[in-house]
Amino acid sequence: MAVLAELDHSKISTVDFASADFKQNARRIVASWAQADPFYIVGSEYTEVICGRYADANEVFLDTERFSSELPKGRGFEKFDKYMGIQVLAQTDGEAHGRIRKLLMPAFSSTNLERLEERITGIVDTMIDKIAAKGRAFDGMADYGAMIIVGALLDAMLNLNEAQKEVFLALHEVLPLTTYTKTGESYPPECVAAFAWAREMVNSIIKERRARPGDDFISQLIAARDQDDKLTDEELFNQTFTVCGAALSATSRAMGGVLHALYSHPEQLAILQKEPKLMNIGIEECLRFASGGYFTFPRVAVCDTQVGGTQIRKGMVVRPSPQAANLDPLAFPDPLKFDVRRNPRRILSFGTGPHLCVGNRLGRFAISIAVSRLITRLPQARLADPQFKPAYGGAIGELRIFELPMLTH
């Protein structure tokens, strides 16, 4: 770790990413990062470098030679080990990353998603039926947004039963707590318990699908492993665990951002209702404007280098901010204007380069179906309070909307 004296003190910040105040003002704060040099956050065990400009964040994402996704384990890095030792795809590099990614990709292909379209649409319509039946008021998150990926991923794609889904929903709820773990502290007991429960369930599911394979994603992954002998049992477990549990967070928080962006801009929502052909580029604009995440998985510098005029020493933790980059005026003119006709190109909400989120197609696909069905089936739906300001929670790096009070008409 670089000593304090070696750093440009004008680029040192004291931002507390764990504070409630930061969460509530994160959108305004990260927008300022989009026009600033990368800056330092100095801790007792390591120094972080925050990259907010589009060019800077993109550089970090693309250059795996200088910035490794495999962070050290152990003291000082507890909060970065969000999955408590589970080796997720996003935190591997090189040959191991390429091999596992190759096995995962067919399940997220356009052909496979098209096969799931009817089932996902049916799941979404059932959710809307329940909203319509319960009365005029509903919660856009609890009744809809937070549950979209549950249906699309856990039900349609993974074919889990209710008991199995319950395990991963419980994990999803406590997972953010790991990122608030302080140096030298143990992980919260509720996280340890949820992980143990999920580990037992994943092993059970793998055993079940190996004995009675189907056309679901887990069966496909097992079949690929058994035929080609490319994944060890531990690798198979890690990726199944990641897809079952970890993938819930990104899309559920993104769905919250999408719904709030659209329904807090009714004139833009009306454009999508009148011109449904704009749906895909409209969703891209929603994800650019409010993807729900200001950080993704961190990197660590493997050599002394620099980004955007800021010196980075070997061993520093480097954190590109997708949300800040999406608000960079050099990449997206007038970035704080929400415009469903914008058609933004190469947004960083799902990362880019070799670590582009393997599930980004599923996320976009499920969100597009969910928004399309909602504005078609409940065309008069709106925010209960047009001036509603969301309260945010979730892991450090996330902006997970707690609730979104809405009316059907």
> Does residue 245 surpass a pLDDT of 70?
no
Mean pLDDT lowest for which of 34-38, 68-72, 220-224, 288-292? 220-224
For 157, which DSSP code? Answer: I
* Residue 336 or residue 149, greater confidence: 336
DSSP calls for 166-212: HHHHHHHHHGGGGGGPPTTPPPPHHHHHHHHHHHHHHHHHHHHHHHS
pLDDT digits (tens, 9 = 90+) for 73-122: 777 788 888 888 888 888 889 888 888 888 888 878 888 888 889 999 99
Mean pLDDT lowest for which of 32-46, 198-212, 228-242? 228-242
CA 394 to chain centre: 11
Task: Estimate the crossing angle of helix 247-263 against helix 279-289, to 10 degrees.
Answer: 100
Q: Quote the mean pLDDT of the chain.
A: 89
Other residues' Cβ atoms within 10 Å of the Cβ of residue 380: 8
- Which of 1-5, 46-50, 263-267 holds the top average pLDDT? 263-267
**Cα 235 from Cα 96, distance rounded (Å):** 10
2: pLDDT confidence band, cut at 50, 70 and 90? very low
Three-state secondary-structure class, residue 52 = coil
pLDDT digits (tens, 9 = 90+) for 177-231: 988 988 888 899 999 999 899 889 989 998 999 899 988 888 887 876 656 656 6
Residues 6+ apart with CB under 8 A from 126: none
Domains of the chain and any CATH numbers: 4-407 (1.10.630.10)
Q: Please give the pLDDT value at position 247.
A: 65
Q: What mean pLDDT is predicted for residues 231-235?
A: 75
Q: Please give the pLDDT value at position 240.
A: 80
- Cα–Cα distances (Å) from 8 to 43, 113, 238, 242, 395, in that order, read 15, 49, 40, 39, 29
Q: What mean pLDDT is predicted for residues 161-171?
A: 88
